[in-house]
Amino acid sequence: MNRAWLYLAPALVLYAAFLLYPIGRTVQLSLYDWDGSTLATFVGFDNYAAVFADAGLRASFGHAFVLVFFFAVLPTLLGLVAAAVLSRAKVWGLGIARVIIFLPQVIAMVVVAVAWRQIYAPDGYLNRALEAVGLGSLARPWLGDYDFALIAVGLVGTWISTGLVTVLLMSGISRIPQERFEAARLDGAGPVREFTSIIVPAVRAEITVALTLTIIASLKTFDLVYVMTSGGPGTQTTVPSYEVFKLAFEQGAVGAGAAVGVTLTAIIFVIAMIVNRIGDRAEVEQ
């Protein structure tokens, strides 16, 4: 036997037993109606039909896509502009700034959720700040507000992702040869032209990585919702991850929970593939 298999064995056994096999079991469970203890009955694709038919579950996927905007799209736009501006001039303190703006990535999401609850609370920092500047009429219990709760959760995602995206894009911009900028300036290009015709095309690969990372993170949002809103008010902020947990462990609808989990996984893989396909094509065209 090839010696390679001996080296592979520990990883393969653990990976197969606690990741591959459970995926297969989740798919299997998603085809059954099971309450977690009594006998399961085979129902075919009924659980999947319910994912599409149930207004609440459909809405949870809708919320996840709203979060994609706040976790991925908005940070990428902000990060592009910030990275471009910061890359133009060598300023003092950039190294320490990089360490600070990356910080939200290393703090436990549960802790982040606790911090932002204090900000959004009825007597919290946001409302107090609004009152201090004479905008007290705008104050509201943000996380209890039917229109604003999801946006409030989303903006926490923007806070988490923007630093990562900016640092990622800055490292991409730093690899652009200086001559390209100099040549563009000789042609009379201003900062805006420089941004659209040099920087953005050159960091396509970094944009792809940034979008992949942040989109996956947004679709998997669980901790923030669990700690900040429990899906409320009503079901305004519930997301697929939270539905998986609720259905499978709290409401005894294990099959339905598994179907939501499989659907979420499929969406993550499809989106990651589309983003990378677009990124690849963009690189070839260059």
Partner 1 sequence: MRVGRLEVAANYALLAVFGLAVLGPIAIILITAVSPANFADAQAGWFHPENFATAWVEGRFGQYLAASISVSLTVVVISSVASVLAGYAFGTMRFKASGVLFYVFLAGIMVPSEAIIIPLHYDLRTFGLTDTLWGVALPQIAQSIAFGTYWMRAYFRAAPRELIDAARIDGAGSWRTLWQVLLPLARPAITTMVVLTFMWTWNEFLIPLAMSPTGAYRTAPFGLALFQGQYTEGTALLAAGAVFVALPVVVVYAILQRHFIRGMLEGAVKG
Binders in 47-86 for partner 1, by CB under 8 A: 82, 85-86
Among 67, 241, 246, 275, binds partner 1 (CB under 8 A): 241
Please give the Cα distance from 33 to 31 (Å, whole number).
7
* 25 forms part of the interface with partner 1 (CB under 8 A): yes
Residue 114, sorted as left (phi over 0), alpha (psi -120 to 50) or beta, turns out to be: alpha
Part of the chain binding partner 1 (CB under 8 A), chosen from 14-22, 69-77, 143-151, 196-204: 14-22
CB of 190 vs partner 1, minimal distance in Å: 12
Among 59, 97, 139, 151, binds partner 1 (CB under 8 A): 97
* 270 forms part of the interface with partner 1 (CB under 8 A): no
Binders in 140-159 for partner 1, by CB under 8 A: 159
Please give the Cα distance from 260 to 266 (Å, whole number).
10
Binders in 100-139 for partner 1, by CB under 8 A: 100-112, 114-116, 118-119, 125
Pick the closer one to partner 1 by CB: 53 or 110: 110
Q: Are 215 and 272 in contact (CB under 8 A)?
A: yes
Element holding 33 (H helix, E strand): strand 32-33
CB of 5 vs partner 1, minimal distance in Å: 7
Pick the closer one to partner 1 by CB: 150 or 211: 211
Over 48-90, what HEC string results?
HHHHHHCHHHHHHHHHHHHHHHHHHHHHHHHHHHHHHHHHHCC
Among 20, 49, 135, 274, binds partner 1 (CB under 8 A): 20
Pick the closer one to partner 1 by CB: 236 or 263: 263
Pick the closer one to partner 1 by CB: 95 or 134: 95
Site string for partner 1, 205-234 (x = CB under 8 A): ----x--xx--x--xx-xx--xx-------
* 249 forms part of the interface with partner 1 (CB under 8 A): yes
- Based on its alpha-carbon atoms, the radius of gyration of the chain, rounded to whole angstroms, reads 23
**Total residues at the site for partner 1 (CB under 8 A)?**
89
Please give the Cα distance from 284 to 53 (Å, whole number).
41
Give the SS3 label for residue 195: helix
For residue 32, the 8-state DSSP code is: E
Reply yes or no: is the peptide bond before residue 233 cis, omega within 30 of 0. yes
